[in-house]
A and B are shown apart, each in its own frame.
Chain A
Amino acid sequence: MTEEIIIAGFGGQGILSMGKILAYAGIMQDKEVSWFPSYGPEMRGGTANVTVIISDERISSPILNQFDTAIILNQQSMDKFESAVKKGGLLIYDPNGITRHPVRTDIDIYTVDAAYESSRMKSSKVFNMIVLGAFLKIKPLIDPEHMHQGLEKCLPSRHHGLIIENEKAIEKGKEIILPKYLMN
């Protein structure tokens, strides 16, 4: 098993930390992992993305331009990465703020209304965990137990009280993900 994932959106959406939690949970499940970010000043307010690879084998290139899964959270990233999904691959996106929806027919496309849902949950901080939950619903690569350990590793211990809230958000993401054709 090797899963090559790009997560892309605005800086401040928690993209890098979502990738980090996923990668750390991967380690807890004894996988090989890599996490390769876009970096530098462009991230502050601009676009941000991270490539996460989770694999049973030694990871070759941490830097890719073709992905099994693209998780897309703004329009610029949609324009850039829709075409980067491998044939038969997966694209998950939050339709909030998307004006040009994906059109490919050779990949599976899902939506997750995470921005809306996180405002309902009164916490913009869990936005990224809702998105992560949605992904794990379609690709259950990591067990909940290891997700929990991943969260423990990534959150400073003074924030461990927030782990439950994050796990709830992951569950919420699993509930609300929809195939794109059901969106209207």
Chain B
Amino acid sequence: MLDTVPITKEEICKPENLVYGRTPLMTDATLSYCPGCGHGTIHRLIMEVIEEMNLQADTIGVAPVGCSVLAYDFLNIDMQQAAHGRAPAVATGIKRLMPHKFVFTYQGDGDLAAIGTGETIHACNRGENITIFFVNNGIYGMTGGQMAPTTLPNMKTATSPFGRDIETMGNPLKITELIAMLPGTYYVTRQSVHTAANVRKAKKAIQKAIEYQKLNKGLSFVEIVSNCNSGWKMTPVESNKWMEEKMFPFYPLGDIKIPK
């Protein structure tokens, strides 16, 4: 029999026992994302890097229209909310007028690769010295799971209930590969945050992207393939498995363009 006295919470939660904490660059607000969604992890990674690089006072972020429209509720930095798809133009305006600030956009696939394709391609092609974080979940999460430009062939969504029919609905858009071809982009990579190992890799990619902006290298583009368990109508565990089996073959992880 165990005869030890139960340990209290207070006895455990002491500074000397701390192995992992929350960055003060995340606010106290409870995340509004669905349980299992990757947005929370991605938010935290970006904020951790900004904290570690001591950039809070020099950062201006742009939130998109999409599930992360309220990102500014969670990120303890100055932020602007942009119209649907226009974040790269907004960021261009900021960076051109505040060239010494660290400027990033945080966009979904509908935002970046459908309604904002023009703004995305041109900001990338001009080589705006900004960083784009692109969260690709293959679906329109916020509006309730409609088809996105990145939706896979035969994938069922609210507006492709019988599966995405390539004949009539077109092909999924590999916008990141497209962007990597543009001379204005410096660093283009595709990551995920569904395992601890992937989280560590993604964080490295985010660090590099921010570092390159500090060095005035032009546009860095970090895609994070992420799940949308609600939109995909799966449990979080199922959705991560599905992502590995279906999304990654189409959107393979890894660096797409690295500095020479």
A–B contact with Cβ pairs below 8 Å: the answer is no
